Structure 1
Amino acid sequence: MKGRLLPDEPLTVERLGALLLGADQVRRWRLVAEFLEEYRWEPVESRATLLAADPAPTGDEHWDVFLAALAEHLSARDGRGAPQWTETRSLRRFWFPFNTRAARGKAVVHAPAAFRRRGVYVAAQELSVR
C-alpha cells in the first residue's frame, strides 16, 4: 500500500475560517476545538504560520471577529504580536457566544483581552482544550 502523497498538515486559521462557512454552531465549536488542539501540539516556533493568513469571510461577522481575536490571543500567549490582518476586525455590539446567565457572567469577568476589546465575550476556559 502506498503512503499518502501529502503529510497531514495542521489546521490553519485560514482553513478554519473556510470550514466555518455554512456550518452550524455545534460544528463550529468542534472545529475551533480541533484547531486549538492542533495548535497546542505544534512547536511554538512554527505556530505563527498557522495564524498568518487572513481567513475569508465565514458568512457571519461574529465568527470573522472571533477568528481575529483568537489569532491575537494565541499570538500573545506565545509572546508574539498579532498578525496584521486582525487589526481591523471588531464588533459594534457585544456578542456572547454562550448566551446563558452563568456563561455571560463568566465571560464578562474572564474574557481574554483580545476578545474583550473586539466585543466578543467568551470565557478563557471555553478556549482551552484538554
Structure 2
Amino acid sequence: SCEPLHAWPGYKRALVQRVLASRDPEAYLALAPAMGARASGDDSLQGYVAGDQFAELAWQVAACRLGLDCSADSTLVTSYCANAGICSRDSAQDFVSFVFDAAVPRQGADRVDEMVDTLVSDPGAQS
C-alpha cells in the first residue's frame, strides 16, 4: 500500500534528505515543484535549497547534471513549453542553457548556479 505524504516538518526534511542522498535525477525532478515558491515560508525546509522560483529551477537543473535527459527534445523541455508556455526560440537548445538564457534574469543566474552546486555536491549538504 502507498504511504500517504505526511505534512509534519520532520517528514518533509527526511524526504528531502533521502532525495539528496539518492542522487536520483528523477527524484530531484519530482521534488522540484514542492521546493519552489510553494515552499516559501516553510520553516521545515530552512537551510535547504527551497522557497522561490529559482530553487525550483535549481532542483531541475541539478536533475540534469545528475543524468536526467534534458536535451532539446526531452520531456522536461516539452512540458515546460506545453504547461508553462515558456518555450525556447531555439529548437536545438537543451534545458540547462534554456534556463540560463530565458528563464532566469542575469542577476539570478549566479544564485541558481550556487544552488545547483549545493544540490549536486555531497549528500546532506545544507545551503
After TM superposition, is the score higher than 0.5? no
Higher relative contact order (CA 8 A, sep 6+): 2
Compare the two structures and name the one with the higher helix fraction: 2
Please state which band the TM-score falls in when normalised by the shorter chain. Answer: 0.3 to 0.5
TM-score (norm 2): 0.36
